[in-house]
Structure 1
Amino acid sequence: MKNALLAAALAFTATGAVAAPEKYALDSGHSQVVFSYNHLGFSTTYGMFAGFDGEIMFDAEDPAASSVAVSMPLMSMFTGWEKREAHFMSEELFGAKEGDMVTFTSTSIEVTGENTALITGDLTMNGITKSVVLDTVLNQKADSHPMENRPWLGFNATTTLSRTDFGVGMAAPYVSDEVEVRISIEAGKAE
């Protein structure tokens, strides 16, 4: 049986019947990046980013051949307290300027299950690029979104970052160096 499947795959490849990755654009209205960290052992502080832009090149036949590229304005960070956000953007931490972006570009995808994968990519933040791994779940793939009437994808992902890796380690380890990141995105097939 395995040989028959391999032969069929080779035959499709030889005849050019292999589907190419299809472009999906991020739905910024239904996508979130939420982060949290421990504050001095007393509480967990949460924040999020808005203003996404990005695309997924999704290969349904060979998910490992897919790719993702996302960007969001650093200054779109929201924590629920303006003084904290101002401190994050100050010279003590990010030294943020209008137009500074946080970007992620995938470099490889390892399929780990029917709807799961480890997406490795380059995360650039604060002018520093580090390789990170997103533990990812494909929540749903629909041929037609009920409101948008076109193909649609939904993913969740998690990772843990080190603030000091990105040059914003002030008060670590008292304020946790580890930042938990939870991502939930939707993307529609580009028209």
Structure 2
Amino acid sequence: MKTTIIAAALLAVTVGSAFAAPETYTLDSSHSQIVFSYNHLGFSTGYGMFSGFAGDIVYDADAPANSTVSVSMPLKSMLTGWQERFDHFMSADFFAATDDETITFISTGIEVTGENTAIITGDLTLNDVTKSVALDAKLNQAGNHPMANQPWLGFDATTTLLRTDYNLGLFEPFVSNEVDVKISIEAMKAQ
């Protein structure tokens, strides 16, 4: 009887330690970016990028569907490669941007689709409009960062947005309504 109780206690400790609690990770702004592209009049592909993110990932390694993502970035962190294009995007023709305007994404659900893939659904707020979007996401790596010597995560994701959904449809259909979005982020375990 005593052996059974000791064995049960050891099993409880082992099982309890085998299941890790969800952990919070903070985005590494210096290694996270969003690249977007659109067709310009059928002649070329226009590109832009956002950086300067802030946000957190609550990552549940044992039950990834229970994880959450919350990200924001300043609208004016947009890079276009040409000042006049940036100025036009920030004008009343498109964003009528204020200095403190942000873009936010808050996850509402995660559907695990493979060993390291998932569809992350969430609310994207852009240009004062909130719409549900789905990100096709992949966990690139979870492990100890070789230089920072702390737990780290890396993800890539893609989605397609419609400009008209966010009241940004000027010049459509000549400039494509569809905007392809590629996301790559790193996040460090919160201290």
TM-score, normalised to structure 1, is 0.90
Aligned to 1:7: none
For residues 146 and 18 of structure 2, what CA distance do their matches in structure 1 show?
29
Amino acid at match of 2:120: I
Q: Which residue of structure 1 lines up, in the alignment, with residue 151 of structure 2?
A: 151
- Alpha-carbon separation, structure 2, partners of 1:164 and 1:20: 41
Q: Kindly state the Cα deviation for residue 21 of structure 1 after the two structures are TM-superposed.
A: 1.2
SS of equivalent residue, structure 1 residue 84:
helix
State the shift of 1:20 in Å. Answer: 2.4
> What is the number of residues matched between the two proteins?
179
| Post-superposition offset of 1:43 | 0.2
Give structure 1 stretches of 5+ with no counterpart. 1-10
Alignment correspondent of 1:140? 141
CA positional deviation for 1:18: 4.3
Alignment of 1:186 with 2:162, yes or no, is no
Partner residue of 2:73? 72
- Matched residue, 1:115: 116
Q: Secondary structure at the match of 2:169?
A: coil
1:85 aligns with 2:86: yes
Partner of residue 5, structure 2: none
Letter in 1 for 2:179: V
Please name the residue that 2:172 is paired with.
Answer: 172
Cα displacement string for residues 34-91 of structure 1 (whole angstroms, at most 9, x for unaligned residues): 0000000000000001110000000000000000000000011001000000000001
Cα deviation 1:94-141 (Å, max 9, x = unaligned): 000001000000000000000000000000000000000000000001
Q: Looking at CA atoms only, which structure, 1 or 2, has the larger radius of gyration?
A: 2
Rounded to whole Å, the distance in 1 between the matches of 2:190 and 2:175 is: 42
Residue type of the alignment partner of 2:145: H
* Structure 2 letter corresponding to 1:95: A
**1:25 aligned onto 2:26:** yes
AA aligned opposite 1:148: A
Q: Which contiguous aligned blocks of 4+ residues in structure 1 show a shift greater than 2 angstroms? A: 14-20
- Distance in 2 (CA, whole Å) between partners of 1:149 and 1:15 is 26
In structure 2, the residue matched to 1:3 is none
TM-score w.r.t. length of structure 2: 0.90
The one-letter amino acid paired with 1:31 is S
Aligned identity (percent) is 64
Opposite residue 97 of structure 1, the aligned amino acid is: T
Per-residue deviation at 1:16?
Answer: 9.5
Distance in 1, matches of 2:147 and 2:20, equals 26
CA-based RMSD: 1.6
Superposition deviation, residue 15 in structure 1: 6.7
CA distance in 1, matches of 2:40, 2:140: 32
Q: Measure the CA separation in 2 of the matches of 1:155 and 1:136.
A: 7
Provide the C-alpha distance between the structure 1 equivalents of 2:16 and 2:81, rounded to a whole number of angstroms.
56
